[in-house]
Structure 1
Amino acid sequence: MARPASRNVLGTELQLCSTDPMTGYFRDGCCNTDPTDGGTHVVCAHMTDAFLAFSKAQGNDLSTPRPEYGFTGLKAGDWWCLCVSRWKDAEAAGMAPSVNLAATHVETLQYVSLDKLKEYATENT
Structure 2
Amino acid sequence: MDLDVHPADLAAVAAGGVLGALTRFGIATAWPHEPGGFPWATWAINVSGCFLIGVLYTRVRGRIPRLLLGTGFLGGYTTFSTAIAEVSQAGLVYLAATLIGAVAAVAAGSVLAR
Q: TM-score, normalised by structure 2?
A: 0.26
Higher relative contact order, structure no. (Cα contacts within 8 Å, ≥ 6 residues apart):
2
Q: Hey, which of these two has a bigger chunk of strand by percent?
A: 1
Q: TM-score, normalised by structure 1?
A: 0.25
